[in-house]
Amino acid sequence: MTIDLQKPATIMRGIGSYVPSQVVDNEALSKKVDTSDEWIRSRTGIKQRRIATDKESTSDLAFNAAQNALKDAGLKANDIDLVIVATITPDMAFPSTACLIQHRLGIPKVACFDIEAACSGFLYALDIADGMLSSGRFNCALIVGAEKLSSIMDWEDRTTCVLFGDGAGAAVLAKTGKGPKLIGFKSGADGSNPTLLHQPAGGSLEPASLKSLENRGHFLKMNGREIFKSAVRVMGAAARDLIAENGLTEKDIDHVIPHQANARIVESLSQRLEIPLEKFFCNLDKYGNTSAASIPIAFDEATRASIFKKGQLGLFVAFGAGLTWSAVLVCF
């Protein structure tokens, strides 16, 4: 290991998450669509997911996760001077979900904005916040990954609706204090084939209309087979590049928290990176794919389980619609 752990780094002062109380297991889904518990488990590893009620929005989930992260950090709303929310299911096209939770949390009138990088969104947000904090113009950032994916699910399409769930995860970042250090970043994208995973209607290309509703264009569409192959390839490349750029090898990594998309993807990534599957933390069996929320929810749960030891190295890695990908190195 040659990485300089004494170098100034952005610190995760606090972490928090929130999931809706409503649990929908595979058996319940099998009553809605032509599927079964065995079919879903064998192909995805998912047993259940959390689904928000009609009265719960993405900002509600984000607000609760943010409160938990602030509490964990031992900080108050007026300590925050930057808010970034990663989501593909905002309450509305504008204003941003970040602005909505800023007001609700009582955060001062500081910089707030959303980013859209799908399942890579939370890691993109960490990367962006690190740069902004390192500029010296900001002191303490609230980063949230939040999704109400049930709001864009086609509940008649068994190939997609069984995969996703709702939830939110948040982190408080600063340049001072105690907590895991963010020590390296690698983000990228390839926009050459956007229809592999997309929501066709509702934007300026295909505004909402009777035709778009009839064509079910407002629901998530995915080419699962191609996404699987792309996911393993781009996450593997991003992880390897980041590890090498920091003078490390795969053997130096103690823990991996991957995007919680599919158990088969995680297994294939483990094989590609030659990092034992035992080092991967997964909770997708309980929550399904929560997109931008998946890594912070998993990280929060793993932290509560005390699986990390001081000085160990962790790898966060994700892919998402775009296609986007991102990897982050963490020293616990």
- Domain of residue 301 covers 183-331
Q: What is the DSSP string of 144-211?
A: EEEEEGGGG--TT-HHHHTTB-EEEEEEEEESSSSS-EEEEEEEEE-TT-GGGEE--SSSSSS---HH
| Tokens of residue 79, six digits | 């300590």
Residue 109: predicted pLDDT: 97
Q: Which of 136, 151, 179 is the last residue of a domain?
A: 179
Percent of the chain with pLDDT over 90: 97
Query: Residue 313: left (phi > 0), alpha (psi -120 to 50), or beta?
Result: beta
pLDDT band with cut points at 50, 70 and 90 for residue 169: very high
How does pLDDT run across 296-330, given as a tens digit for each residue?
A: 999 999 999 999 999 999 999 999 999 999 999 99
Domain-embedded: residue 156: yes
Domain-embedded: residue 3: no
| Tokens of residue 124, six digits | 């993109």
Distances (CA, A) of 140 to 84, 109, 150: 11, 14, 32
CA distance 227 to 250: 24
Q: Which of 159, 179, 199 is the last residue of a domain?
A: 179
| Tokens of residue 302, six digits | 């793993």
Work out how many domains the chain is built from and give that number. 2
How does pLDDT run across 50-77, given as a tens digit for each residue?
A: 999 999 999 999 999 999 999 999 999 9
Q: Are residues 190 and 76 in the same domain?
A: no
Q: Are residues 222 and 172 in the same domain?
A: no
Residue 7: predicted pLDDT: 77
Domain-embedded: residue 298: yes
How does pLDDT run across 212-256, given as a tens digit for each residue?
A: 999 999 999 999 999 999 999 999 999 999 999 999 999 999 999
Q: Are residues 44 and 172 in the same domain?
A: yes
Is pLDDT above 90 for 173?
yes
Q: Are residues 155 and 235 in the same domain?
A: no
Neighbours of 176 (CB within 10 A): 9
Distances (CA, A) of 3 to 186, 244, 245: 16, 10, 10
Is pLDDT above 80 for 5?
no
Domain-embedded: residue 2: no
CATH of the domain at 72: 3.40.47.10
Q: Which of 146, 179, 212 is the last residue of a domain?
A: 179
pLDDT band with cut points at 50, 70 and 90 for residue 1: low
Q: Are residues 135 and 213 in the same domain?
A: no
Q: What is the mean pLDDT of the chain?
A: 96
| Tokens of residue 276, six digits | 């034992």
What residues contact residue 329 under an 8 Å CB cut-off, 6+ apart? 3, 182, 183, 184, 185, 242, 243, 246, 248, 313, 314, 315
CA atoms within 13 A on the CB side of 185: 17
Domain-embedded: residue 165: yes
Domain-embedded: residue 326: yes
- The catalytic site residues sit at 119, 259, 289
Kindly compute the dihedral angle of the four CA atoms of residues 59, 62, 63, 66, in this order, to the nearest 10 degrees.
Answer: -160
Residues counted in the chain: 332
Q: Are residues 248 and 283 in the same domain?
A: yes
**Cα 292–298–304 angle (5° rounding)?**
140
pLDDT band with cut points at 50, 70 and 90 for residue 8: confident
Q: Are residues 134 and 155 in the same domain?
A: yes
Q: Are residues 167 and 200 in the same domain?
A: no
Distances (CA, A) of 91 to 11, 98, 230: 29, 10, 29
Q: What is the DSSP string of 215-283?
A: TTTTS-EE-HHHHHHHHHHHHHHHHHHHHHHTT--GGG--EEEE--S-HHHHHHHHHHHT--GGGB---
